[in-house]
Amino acid sequence: MDIVLITGANSGIGRATAVRLGAAGCRVYAAMRDLGKAGKLLDAAGAAGSEVHTVALDVTDDQSVRQAVEAVLGEAGRIDVMINNAGIAWNATTEDIDIEAAKVVFETNYWGAIRCLKAVLPQMRERRSGHIVNVSSVTGRIAAPAQTVYASSKWAMECMSENLAQEVTSFGIRVSVIEPGVTRTAILPKNLTHPEPTAYGAAYRRMLNFYAAGIAANARPEAVADVIHEALTTDEPRFRYPCAWASSSLALGRAGMSDREWIEMGAVATDEEYYERFERHFGLDIRPSG
């Protein structure tokens, strides 16, 4: 039975994954900042016949991470799987970034994952066994317009994961990167604003229409949880696992474009022409419905 610690487990992909892995027989420690928000997780776990243990953990706080990991190790004796899932989104073009406010994105999405890794890796190395799962995003493979900080944090996670995979393979530790596209979770309704006033209205409008198309596609967090379970159990492991709406299409489409073609997308004058080019390059129709 694997002992699993997953961050950001009170909602969305984290909650779905905690329930999925608990139902599969793992002993799951579902971490979140506020244990008072664990109700929906525990209800879902109960309905699925999945045993889930909750633990308080704030990935932006060194002491909180150390205490949570020590508590799990003290109770379970080991951590076999660390799933770095906690993350927050942030809409802003580069010029519009409020630097001080936006620092929380890297503190959560990037440094938060590293804090957790530093806490769990020593016992994995000692046992010469373990699996790290970093939940990145397709924005780690493509510079998502009007999301400079968020996409950069995920690009950084992709780089860190590649480095980590080389660093720990000789200790018997495997690393997997999950790259969801748009997934219908609680993060989306919280991510519909952007800085104003701004000179970059077209970029925000087109970005939000992309997400509206993704919301309409209704990719569920349970589908991502299934992919994470596959990454943990497959006999033919891969390093990267694109999943949910548009992930593969965006990564493959961008790989097939020249840098010039990508940059010129930003010079398109009308939304309709932008949507036509987007569909041509990525095979996705993001025109507003109606």
Task: Return the active site residues.
Answer: 136, 150, 154
Structure tokens at 196: 């104003």
Q: How far apart are CA 54 and CA 42, in angstroms?
A: 9
Q: How far apart are CA 175 and CA 195, in angstroms?
A: 36
Q: Which residues pair with 245 in a beta bridge?
A: 182
197: preceding bond cis by omega (within 30 degrees): yes
Nearest in space to 106 (alpha carbons), one of 124, 86, 125? 86
Share of the chain residues as helix, strand and coil, in percent rounded to the nearest 5? 55, 15, 30
Sign, CA dihedral 47-52-54-58, equals negative
What is the phi/psi pair of residue 184, to 5°? -80, 90
Three-class secondary structure of residue 18 per DSSP? helix
